[in-house]
């Protein structure tokens, strides 16, 4: 049966409903985020908004408080879903390195020999807004990352315009979901302000009826809890909203701001505050480069490109094989020599062998004799029989 792309996906992502929903590896943290949003709103609707139904007499205007809270919460949850369940801008990885980028680097010393090797340059330069920018090669995805792209170690994917990996939404924040992420954070900030304000208003009404703020707080502890919860949450989501407003105005990402802050680099992507906001909120979201439900197509086998790492084992094996063959030849000659009883037999054997080969090989036979004379004392220590004859040869010499 043919497999689909999400079946063989090499990233650490989670797919649901046949690849229709796409989450990060920490998608379970999304449940915590849902609880942090839904539970306080439910408490607000039951203990605060319902008590205000009849506080505004004309046309039951008090119901609007409940309706606004529910609609606002649904809006926040939709933005959360659009942020966490979509492709953030993953660059499809290659199945092999780009052969057109292979270059011969300087000679490398391999086994005592200077050998040129094929290597892929670690960086290359591209033009962005008229400025030259270096992009890096990703060994995992086997591609040159586009400008502002980075490899997420959690998702194990290269993401375009990588901002950060957010554990609260369980997804990378990149080119295709950054707009929804900012809208989610800013909407959550407004929701906190709304719940805090209405809860404080309800405490004010109770204080008018009971005389003191302490009696009002005892009358509605849910309002006190919601005010405290929203106050603490505002430090998080409100601060995050302000920080990302600054990043959008200067056309930076969180990754770039934290990594290159101390370098004082010139930002080649900054086009001015208004143009930067227009780029984030008023441009069309680019379509995904991945079709997770597509069937996988088998690629034809490509010829292997030799490199230094591949050449070293082959050359080492060839050297070892040649060395073993030479050792066998030398060992055979020494064995034959060790079987001779006298020096005369050895010289006769050498003369008989010399008559069967060309003249210029006689030096080889003589070298064998010389080598035997040099090593005859200890050539075959594993055999007593061979040792005795080696000593005879040595004594005669």
Catalytic residues: 166
Q: 315-322: list long-range contacts, CB under 8 Å, 24+ apart.
A: 315/110, 315/111, 316/111, 319/111
How many Å apart are CA 235 and CA 224, to the nearest integer? 17
Q: Tokens in use for 187?
A: 């909407």
Task: Quote the CA–CA distance of 171 and 104 in Å, as a whole number.
Answer: 40
How far, in Å, CA of 132 to CA of 26, rounded? 37
Bridge partners, residue 246, by sequence: none
**319 SS3 class:** helix
Map residue 124 onto helix, strand or coil. strand
Q: Would you list the DSSP string of 311-359?
A: HHHHHHHHHHHHHHHHHHHHHHHHHHHHT-SSHHHHHHHHHHHHTTS-G
| Burial (CB count within 10 angstroms: exposed 0-12, middle 13-18, buried 19+), residue 96 | exposed
- Integer-rounded Cα radius of gyration of the chain: 39
d(CA 170, CA 10): 18
Helix, coil or strand: residue 28: coil
What strand order describes the sheet that includes 123-128? 123-128, 131-138, 143-144
């Amino acid at each position: 049966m043919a497999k689909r792309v999400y079946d063989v996906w090499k990233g650490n992502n989670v797919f649901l409903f046949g690849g229709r929903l796409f989450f990060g590896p920490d998608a379970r943290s999304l449940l915590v985020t849902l609880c942090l949003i839904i539970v306080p709103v439910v408490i607000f609707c039951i203990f605060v908004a319902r008590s205000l139904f009849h506080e505004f007499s004309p046309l039951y205007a008090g119901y609007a408080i409940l309706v606004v809270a529910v609609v606002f919460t649904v809006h926040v949850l939709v933005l959360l879903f659009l942020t966490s369940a979509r492709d953030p801008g993953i660059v499809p990885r290659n199945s092999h390195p780009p052969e057109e980028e292979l270059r011969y680097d300087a000679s490398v010393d391999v086994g005592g020999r200077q050998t040129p090797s094929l290597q892929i340059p670690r960086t290359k330069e591209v033009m962005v807004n008229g400025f030259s920018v270096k992009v890096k090669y990703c060994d995992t995805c086997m591609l040159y990352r586009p400008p502002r792209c980075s490899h997420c170690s959690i998702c194990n994917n290269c993401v375009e315009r990588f901002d950060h990996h957010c554990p609260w939404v369980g997804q990378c924040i990149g080119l295709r979901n950054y707009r929804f992420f900012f809208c989610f954070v800013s909407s959550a900030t407004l929701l906190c302000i709304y719940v805090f304000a209405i809860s404080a208003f309800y405490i004010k009404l109770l204080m008018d009826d009971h005389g003191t703020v302490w009696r009002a707080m005892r009358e509605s502890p849910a309002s006190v809890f919601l005010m405290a919860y929203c106050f603490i949450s505002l430090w998080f989501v409100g601060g995050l909203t302000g920080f990302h407003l600054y990043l959008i105005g200067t056309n930076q990402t969180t990754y770039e701001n934290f990594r290159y802050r101390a370098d004082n680099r010139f930002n080649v992507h900054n086009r001015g505050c208004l143009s930067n906001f227009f780029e984030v909120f008023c441009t069309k979201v680019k379509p995904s480069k991945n079709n997770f439900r597509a069937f996988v197509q088998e690629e034809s086998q490509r010829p292997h490109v030799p490199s230094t790492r591949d050449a070293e084992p082959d050359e080492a094996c060839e050297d070892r094989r040649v060395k073993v063959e030479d050792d066998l030849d030398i060992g055979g000659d020494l064995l034959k020599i060790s079987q001779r009883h006298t020096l005369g037999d050895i010289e006769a054997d050498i003369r008989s062998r010399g008559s069967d080969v060309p003249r210029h090989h006689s030096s080889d036979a003589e070298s064998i004799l010389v080598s035997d004379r040099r090593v005859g004392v200890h050539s075959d220590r594993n055999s007593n029989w061979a040792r005795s004859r080696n000593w005879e040869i040595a004594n005669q010499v």
